[in-house]
Amino acid sequence: MKGIRIGQGFDVHRFKTGRPLKLCGRTIPGEPGLDGHSDADVGLHAVTDAILGALALGDMGDHFPDSDPRWSGADSSAFVSRVVELAAAEGFELVNCDLTFIGERPRISPHRESLRASLADSLGVPQSAVSVKATTTERLGFVGRAEGLAALAVVLMAKGGGDG
């Protein structure tokens, strides 16, 4: 099983009114946005870091630093696409991705299928390979006070083109 790699990613962004809320590449209307150098798509950032982690290629800060004006306001789908390319260059493709949002808002369930479709599109895999879930912290802590939104991602990567 040398050709199997697992990775995890975690991210948090603070809510900031006046910005659109972007999750998995989709805009969620009627909710405060998230603060950040890029579009602050916390779900895509967690997935990006999970893929980098699976391949031991560092983290988002290494590849897409906040100090780089190229990423100011960037669509985070570009980060996902880039790390999928990096993985492909090493012969790896994504088997599945499980993404969990942790926070009091927004309610994810009305948007779940849309978020899955968008994330699957960014990853270049069928929607059946992508799970999007949500939970709360029972109003405890900073996410419980709705100060921000957290996301946790796990990915499995495998060597493409056979049994590895």
List interacting residues with Mg ion (CB under 5 A). 11, 45
Of 122 and 158, the one with the shorter C-beta distance to Mg ion is 122
**Cβ atoms within 10 A of the Cβ of 19, count?**
15
Nearest approach, Cβ of residue 36 and Mg ion (Å): 6
Q: Which helix (H) or strand (E) holds 88?
A: helix 77-89
By residue count, the chain amounts to 164
Q: State how far the Cα of 93 lies from the Cα of 95, in Å rounded to an integer.
A: 6
Give me 87's structure tokens: 């993985």
Nearest approach, Cβ of residue 13 and Mg ion (Å): 6
Of 11 and 149, the one with the shorter C-beta distance to Mg ion is 11
Of 86 and 95, the one with the shorter C-beta distance to Mg ion is 86
Nearest approach, Cβ of residue 92 and Mg ion (Å): 23
Unique residue bearing structure tokens 């796990």: 154
Of 45 and 116, the one with the shorter C-beta distance to Mg ion is 45
The residue number whose beta carbon is nearest to Mg ion equals 45
Q: Where are the beta strands (DSSP E) in 17-91?
A: 21-23, 26-28, 33-34
Helix, strand, or coil (residue 139) = coil
Say whether the peptide bond before residue 65 is cis (omega within 30 degrees of 0).
no
Nearest approach, Cβ of residue 2 and Mg ion (Å): 31
